[in-house]
Structures are given as structure tokens and as C-alpha cells.
Amino acid sequence: MDRVIIFDTTLRDGEQAAGGTLNIQEKLEIARQLEKLGVDVIEAGFPASSPGDFEAVNLISQEIKNSAICALTHANFKAVDRAWEAVKVAARPRIHIFLSASDIHIIHQLKKSRDEILKMACDNVARAKGYTSDIEFSPMDASRTEPAYLYQILEAVIDAGATTVNIPDTVGYAVPHEFGGLIEGIRANVPNIDKAVISIHCHNDLGLAVANSLEAIQRGARQAECTINGIGERAGNASLEEIVMAIRTRKDFFDLTTGIDTTQIYRTSRMVSDLTGFAVQANKAIVGANAFSHESGIHQDGVIKMPITYEIIDPRTVGVPSSSLVLGKLSGRHAFKQRLSELGYSLNDEDLNRAFAAFKELADKKKHITDRDIESLVAEEQRTLSEEYHLERIQVTCGDRGIPTAAVRLTDPKGTVLEDAALGTGPVDAVYQAINRLVKVPNSLTEFTVKSVTQGIDAIGEVLIRIESDGVSYTGRGADTDIIVSSAKAYINALNRLLAAGEIKTA
């Protein structure tokens, strides 16, 4: 096999990242984008873990046709049955069973014997096989499992019907040479290994998730489990975009391919960052803001003369939009629509009208409108689509004399106009206090960041916030040329997400 199967677990392991909760609509939106990206398998969630996860897996299974949809389950019949209930409508359903295999886990956590674990693994794979032919099994903590026992489990689950065996480096403990050796050991010592695909699932605790994955691929693994932007439990998972672009850029070395449409990478990365609220670090490989910017004079000189001198990837290959002027005040609807479609957006007429109106409003305030501005503007429009509470207007007075004061007008879920005013320690606090008087949901603000989308004094400012309620964290985003307005939008966005999660009823 010269093709590596890309198994995306952004919606499952990625969502396990602290503070990364997504609602069902957001999961569906990401799943649609993952399908466009061309991932082979989407791990959509863990149906037995919560009714929300069940519903999300089920909804994604109903809609997505080109990628296989995978439901994760622990090794008990009830959970396996629940996974199947959620995923059975998918065009290509997969059940993924995991069970700890290392002595560290089975002695200290599960308090079972190796034989008991072996039996549980086989019984549950056989149970799942009664539902579908596509079964994945993961011996959790495989990289700290005694190899001889690991080979024994893998042979047994393949006999019981597993078609993919996944080797998780659950705690990110492995180092590349050793992890690659484990894959070679599996190929040499599991007699029926030719009946299953070897997969790897690496965590990034030592910053080695991508390196371990690539070494394993080089030594025979043919499925890579990964997430967009590398988000995931603790330090995260191996990053999809880094694995895919390494395989593509170094085809001379790997001689392998993937089915990924790399021009969708940047867009997917932005969407996941927007919806989870996890900012992408500027120096992040492939998708970071600085990944293709050259500061040193020597490098700039080289790139101007011949890009290949210092650029190993053409930014267009991963769909990075240019930051040059694209549209202005006089641009019409047709030009705007055309640019949107070049950026990969296909909006229906109603959404297009809203986005165009927002574009015209922005063009009045900002002279040069770039692709990044357009992206930010469309994201802002899409955020407000499913809003319960909607920001109509705000007015703020502030300065180094007097007390910061904000007046806010909102519409509630029934369309009723609500207005109030409040004082605060600063303009953002005053706005938040005024909103609190209207949307009475107890919460605390735990994070607030603001950054500009492009350079220049008239740039759009994007605000990202996190609020916490009942121990659950919700992110909110807002974008506007006025950062106080962005802050208000971000807070309303976070409150809407909190309300949609149904955790708290308004007073």
C-alpha cells in the first residue's frame, strides 16, 4: 500500500482538550469541512460518553457520505451497542474499541489480569463485528505495553474481526526510533497482521507526536490518527497538516500519498481554531501566521529571486490566502461572490446578502480589504446565524476621567428588544455588566485576548474570550473594527453557546 489513510480525531480526541467543547452544529460544520479536506475517516465522537456526543455522531453519520464515520467505545457490550446505534446510518460506519493493555494501566487502573483483558478485547470486537465489518481496536498505552503481550492481543483481535489495529502512544512517551521499532516488531511477530491495517495514534507530551507518526509510517503503519492544529488531550495529538505536508513535501523520501486536498488545510485550520477557541501559535508549522513570512533580508532577497531558495512549500498549496488588497469600496456583489468562491466559500443567497452587506459596511470604515478581512467577516456572519441573543448596538463612554459607562441594546430569542446600561472598571467591563443585566446567566470570565487580523490602524480586531459556568468552559469570538464592539460580540457569542449547551436556564 502506498497510500496512508488519514483518520481525523479532531471531533473526539481534539475535543477532549481542556476548554475545547464544541456544540453539535459546530461539530457538524467541522465534519463537513473535514469531508471537503478529504480525510478518509472522521472519528465523530464517543456516543456512550454523553447524549450530546451520541447526537453529534448520529447527525454527522446521516450527512457525511465520502468519509467513513467512526464511533469510539470502551470495551463493554452496552457501549458498543450505543456506538453502533449512533453510527449505523453512516454510508461507511466504523466502530473503534479501546481497552488498556499496559501493565501500568491494567494493574493500577483496571485491576484485571492480562487474560481478562484479552478476553474482553476479543468479546467486544466480536460483538461489534456482528454489526459492521469495519472494526478498529486500540490497545491503549500500547507504547508502554510489553511487546510480547501486545502481539498476542493484536493477533487475537484480528482473529475476532478487527480490520484496523491502532497503536496508541497514549501518554506521549515514545521516541521515534523506538516507536518505529515497535511497528516493525508488530509486522514481524503478529502472524495474521496482513489481515489488518496498522494505525498509529501519537500524543505530543514530549513534542514528538508528528516525528513518532512519521517514523511509524516509514516502517509500515498505513493509517495516521491526527487532529487539525494538533489539538487534543493534554499537549495534543499529532497534527494532521504536518503529517500530510511532510508526506507530500518529502515524497522523494516516503514515496507515499494521502487523499487530502491540501488546498483546504488552511481553511480547516482556521475553522477549528475559530470554533474551539484555540488560537494557532504564530510559528506553528504549515498553518501559523508566520509559517510563510520571511523576515531576514537575505531570505527575502532569495524568495524574491526564486521562492524555492527559502520556501519548501508554496503557501497556495495549503490554501493560505494572500494578504494583498483584493477588494475595495467600489467592488460589487459579483466581485465579492467571486472572491468568496476563490477562497472556498459557497454561501446561499441569504448568507451571501448578509455577508455582502457586512462587507459594504466594512469597506466604509476600512480602505483596503484583504482576503483575511473577508475570512474574518464571513466567520463573524456565520457565528451570528444561530444566535439566541443578538447584539443590536452599544454605546460606551470611557477615558481617564469619569466612570466607564455602557448602554447596550439586544434582541432576545423571541425578538424582543432589551436595553440597559451599567458602569464598570473599564469600557469592556461596563459592556459586560450591561449585558449581564439583560442575559442573566451566572458565569465568570477566565480569558480575554484581542488581536488584529491584518496590520494598520483600521484593522479588524478579533476578540477571543472564555467564560466558565458550573465548571464548564465556553469560548466566544467577535470581530469588528472597534474592539469594544468585538468584545461585546464575543461575550454574546460565548453566552449563546453556554445557553445552547443547556447547562443553565436564564433567570
Closest CA to 393 of 422, 429, 425, 418: 418
Contact in structure between 82 and 53 (CB atoms under 8 Å): no
Choice from 95, 140, 174, 240 touching ligand KIV (CB under 6 A): 140
Write out the binding residues for ligand KIV, residues 305-344 only, by CB under 6 A.
none
Nearer to ligand KIV, 143 or 269 (CB): 143
Choice from 5, 10, 11, 13 touching Zn ion (CB under 5 A): 13
Q: How far apart are CA 423 and CA 432, in angstroms?
A: 10
Nearer to ligand KIV, 203 or 497 (CB): 203
Nearer to ligand KIV, 166 or 276 (CB): 166
Choice from 201, 267, 477, 497 touching ligand KIV (CB under 6 A): 201
Q: What is the 3-state secondary structure (H, E, C) of 76-105?
A: CHHHHHHHHHHHCCCCCEEEEEEEECCHHH
| Contact pattern for ligand KIV over residues 86 through 125, marking x by CB under 6 A | ------------x---------------------------
Q: Is 53 in the site for ligand KIV (CB under 6 A)?
A: no
Q: Is 271 in the site for ligand KIV (CB under 6 A)?
A: no
Least distance to Zn ion, CB of residue 16, Å: 8
Write out the binding residues for ligand KIV, residues 434-453 only, by CB under 6 A.
none
Nearer to ligand KIV, 13 or 35 (CB): 13
Q: Which stretch in 6-14, 348-356, 360-368, 389-397 sits in contact with Zn ion by CB under 5 A?
A: 6-14
What count of other Cβ atoms lies within 10 Å of the Cβ of residue 444?
Answer: 8
Q: Is 137 in the site for ligand KIV (CB under 6 A)?
A: no
Residue 313, Cβ density class (10 Å: 0-12 exposed, 13-18 middle, ≥19 buried): middle
Q: Is 169 in the site for Zn ion (CB under 5 A)?
A: no
Q: Is 15 in the site for Zn ion (CB under 5 A)?
A: no
Contact in structure between 396 and 431 (CB atoms under 8 Å): yes
Q: How many residues bind ligand KIV (CB under 6 A)?
A: 9
273 binds, among Zn ion, ligand KIV, none (CB under 5 to 8 A by kind): none
Contact in structure between 214 and 182 (CB atoms under 8 Å): no
Q: How far apart are CA 127 and CA 164, in angstroms?
A: 16
Region for residue 117 given its phi and psi (left: phi exceeds 0; alpha: psi -120 to 50; beta: otherwise): alpha
| Contact pattern for ligand KIV over residues 141 through 180, marking x by CB under 6 A | -------------------------x-x-x----------
Residue pointed to by grid coordinates 537575505: 298
Closest CA to 247 of 10, 2, 54, 502: 2
Sign (positive or negative) of CA dihedral 208, 278, 64, 287: negative
Contact in structure between 367 and 325 (CB atoms under 8 Å): no
Least distance to Zn ion, CB of residue 33, Å: 21
The DSSP call for residue 70 is E
CA distances from 410 to 277, 355, 390, 499 (A): 24, 20, 5, 15
- Chain residues binding Zn ion by CB under 5 A are 13
Site residues (CB under 6 A) for ligand KIV? 13, 98, 138, 140, 166, 168, 170, 201, 203
